[in-house]
Amino acid sequence: METLTIVLAKPRGFCAGVERAIEIVEKALAIYGAPIYVRHEIVHNKWVVEDLRAKGVVFVDEVCDIPDGAITVFSAHGISEKIENIAKLRDLPVIDATCPLVTKVHTEAQRYEAEGREIILIGHAGHAEVEGTMGRVKCKMHLVATPLEVAALKVDQPDNLAYVTQTTLSMDDTRTVIDALKKRFPSIKGPDLRDICYATQNRQNAVRALAESVEMMLVIGSSNSSNSNRLRDLGQEMGVKSYLIDDEKAIQPQWLEGVNSIGVTAGASAPDVLVGKVVERLQQLRPAQVKTLEGITENVRFKLPPEVTSKPFEALRKVS
């Protein structure tokens, strides 16, 4: 049996926003005790959600599902002002785990609104981050995902427009949408590709390099993870058969037939423990050597919020 070469992407897996969000929940559990209520999945990863659920986290879809007085965490994807206000009205003790890079996009949108501009958001309908960003301004925001949607867009102030983007899109797709916007509305203001976060960019660059050296690619991530889907799409676009998998259990032995090199990466919300399990499973199926592609080392780290460093809700603590 021919030896398989497994090539790991670098960087891959957890970004600073995901690490921070999970650490916030872990610290909240340690300080205030279970249950901790989290609105929406803290990050889009089944393994992470199940792990936290087992430790006493209750995930809910809406703030109205949270009991009075319960410690409440908002997920890394951000929330609309309306949801924030409902929690305030109910006087819920809230810890906001919104990624600071998502908050930056909210601030940009609010700045454009204050300038009186009509705003376009480049993003995918239904994604939690998109719903949060659209709910951060009072004016109407248009949502587009493709150049075709730009062509069909009906705006009231064609000479007074601005755009912002979802943080986890494909850099290539976003560039084509921005180009279409600039062509149709030459005076439009926007941050270029700067809203695409560093982690999304770095993981996409690493997948590009990986796709050049392997015959097949496995992207570890959940099906509702935007950045993981983009990594799989990118591999496919580069002509490499690419699969998005939750974990090692999803690997089909027949995928390895006729394949001698497999690239492995993980979306920004997928933990490295799953990479280890995937490598182990591949090694069970075929003798394999493992190497890591050269890539940049990330040193980004975001500050934790005061609610998990100075314990302002300590009176609500159930365990010491």
Binding site for ligand SF4 (CB under 6 A): 15-18, 76, 99, 101-102, 167-168, 197, 199-200, 227, 268
Q: Which residue is nearest to ligand SF4 (CB)?
A: 17
For ligand SF4, which is the closer residue by CB, 5 or 110?
110
CA atoms within 13 A on the CB side of 75: 26
CB of 54 to ligand SF4, least distance (A): 23
Question: Which one from 19, 129, 131, 307 is the annotated catalytic residue?
Answer: 129
CB of 38 to ligand SF4, least distance (A): 15
Question: Which residue's CB is nearer to ligand SF4, number 93 or number 267?
Answer: 267
- Residue closer to ligand SF4 (CB basis): 72 or 200: 200
CB of 135 to ligand SF4, least distance (A): 17
Show the 3-state SS of the chain.
Answer: CCCEEEEECCCCCCCHHHHHHHHHHHHHHHHHCCCEEEECCCCCCHHHHHHHHHCCEEEECCHHHCCCCCCEEECCCCCCHHHHHHHHHCCCCEEECCCHHHHHHHHHHHHHHHCCCEEEEECCCCCHHHHHHHCCCCCCEEEECCHHHHHHCCCCCCCCEEEEECCCCCHHHHHHHHHHHHHHCCCCECCCCCCCCHHHHHHHHHHHHHHCCCCEEEEECCCCCHHHHHHHHHHHHCCCEEEEECCHHHCCHHHHCCCCEEEEEECCCCCHHHHHHHHHHHHHHCCEEEEECCCCCCCCCCCCCHHHCCCCCHHHCCCC
Residue 16 or 122: the one with the smaller Cβ distance to ligand SF4 is 16
Cβ density class 245-274: b for 16+ within 10 Å, e for less? bbbbeebeeebbeeeebbbbbbbbbbbeeb
Tell me how far, at minimum, the Cβ of 304 lies from ligand SF4, in Å: 14
For residue 39, the minimal CB distance to ligand SF4 (Å) is 16
Is 129 labeled as catalytic in the residue annotation? Answer: yes
Q: Of the two residues 6 and 102, which places its CB atom closer to ligand SF4 in the complex? A: 102
Q: How far is the CB of 280 from ligand SF4 (least distance, A)?
A: 26
- State which residue, 187 or 201, has the beta carbon closest to ligand SF4: 201
Q: Which residues are catalytic?
A: 129
